[in-house]
Structure 1
Amino acid sequence: MPAPAPKPPLPKAELHVHIEGTLEPEAAFAFAGRNGVRLPYASEEELRRACSFTGLQSLLDLQQKLTVVLRTEEDFADLAAGYLDRARAQGVRHAEIFFDPQAHTSRGVPFATVIDGLTRVLDTAQETYGISTRLIMCFLRDESAASALAAFEAARPYLDRITAVGLDSAEAHHPPSKFADVYALARQAGLKCVAHAGEEGPAAYVWEALDILKVDRIDHGVSAMEDERLVARLAEEQVPLTLCPLSNVRLRVVEDLADHPLPAMLKAGLLVTVNSDDPAYFGGYVHDNFTAVRDALGLDEETLRALARNSFRAAFLDEPTREKYLREVAAY
């Protein structure tokens, strides 16, 4: 008698994934080959071994060496297709995807090349992969505020394809308040706002993201647990937090997954979600993160369902679509 088919993954939304962080070693070498770029690694295996990080900056240094292979519209389209194919196998029904235009325009790749390549695939993702998508344009916080403003102006002709703005890259010594002006422009343009805060930065950065940038979601937010008053506010206002557990371990935000504050956050009534961040570098996509926290933290099935429900509650969806996805979770 044949073995029963494995149960499909729990339906979920992914709200914190950097498209540049889905560049798998095989794809990096394939893009390098077709674009005539020489990578500083002899093989895919050597590149995988390089994914050993001492903190966020070491990840950013590695990504800078690899994003040079992304040159053409075809590259960005293939990158998006590769992510969506993996996401479908991980149970993702809706994905809100970060991209970093400054990382590409700064080396001569036109903004149009980046967004045309991505949206060529994202526009048909529902039909092709069964995944609805949103695109979030991030500003690099270790660049100047003027650079962020220039990036936003370059994006203006394409705002109909962009749902939100975000803030990523090296958090230390780059507070959210640095980007108050560009976030004000984004809100005036009708965009949603999110920001990385409380990953390697203090709880004070989460306050700034809420009060100065007026964000709709906090990306990471781990250090919020250091401030009882902030925890109470996040719980009362149900501000979503997009946690990335495997990332937190790889980047030494927590030393061991068993020490992750996720259970304490849930107990405090926070609206937390589980995501993959840069899965090609951290050894796991979103369902892998669900499985890892289940095993390391002893989470039961109902808690995992609650995390899946949270992901759709926190997503930038219209209400009928949100309810449809929540029914899928209930029926799982």
Structure 2
Amino acid sequence: MSNDTDKPDTASGISFVPPSAMTLPRYAGVASFMRAPHLSISDPACAAVDIALLGVPWDGGTTNRPGARHGPRQLRDLSTMIRPKHPVTGQNPFEDRNIADLGDAPVNPADIMDTLESVTGFIAKLKAMGISPLSAGGDHLLSYPIIKALASDGPIGMVHFDAHTDLFDSYFNGFKYTHGTPFRRAIEEGYLDPHRVVQIGIRGTMYDGEDVEWGLEQGVRIIRMEEVLERGIDQVMAEARDIVGRDKTYVSFDIDAVDPAFAPGTGTPEIGGFSSREAQKMIRSLGGLNLVGADLVEVSPPFDPSGGTAWLGISLMYELLCVLAGAKATSNPNRKSG
């Protein structure tokens, strides 16, 4: 097997090709997402980066079972098992784009609003540099500040895989910012275009259904798990593509979209979800969309110390990386073309 680790990017002077496991064992070296080079956002080499892999180690929006703050570290560790070439398409995203691990977004475990502002500021810097973020959570509230930054010049669409709508108004006597409210806030504040938002896999017992009613009133397309089973994934994903169209779109994948038989390590598991294979198929069907970023959230290591949930999570992040790499066009001479 060839090893391209000694071939630097011509503009940055560093190599964006992950080291081969044939020369550096997977268990060796400092862990980074998928063995991509680890850079600081202030590093001059970031001028050549197309896609940033990053963690948001925070679960301050959790209202029941905490632990997702530990997700990014476990996801990073298990990501050393990822090989670069896609087994079906033959795509190597690390050859298509310059991809780097830019560490973790700044968070404050004692202050929700400070964390939201800090994450928005961090993602805004990436956007200004022309870098698309692929983020690992963390609880689902972190999607809100990311979307806020990416939608600074106009509302964007979203494909959202989840067991829950996360369209609730508030929790505990009016508190507006929890892992159950991010997309309501993003729609209310004009960061998401509700007519270009599709939620897939919704299921489980409910409080009162107000979240679903509000979403439908705004124009959100909510596809319950029962509808997916009746129509099939191909039809559902074709509709999702039609809904978001050719305009800028974000992808958010809550690991609890997958059945707890495959992903028990999450804060709010719901039975009757997708298999790991179905999750792969759905993400792969997003190829060619105008994607500006994505996240994988709610992996909670305390509920699956074995790492099985995190391994599924990072495998789905790889699938997201492939569709992002296919979507990320750039005219910057410091970056790869394709």
TM-score category (smaller protein): 0.3 to 0.5
TM-score by length of 1: 0.38
Give the structure with the higher percent helix.
Answer: 1
TM-score by length of 2: 0.37
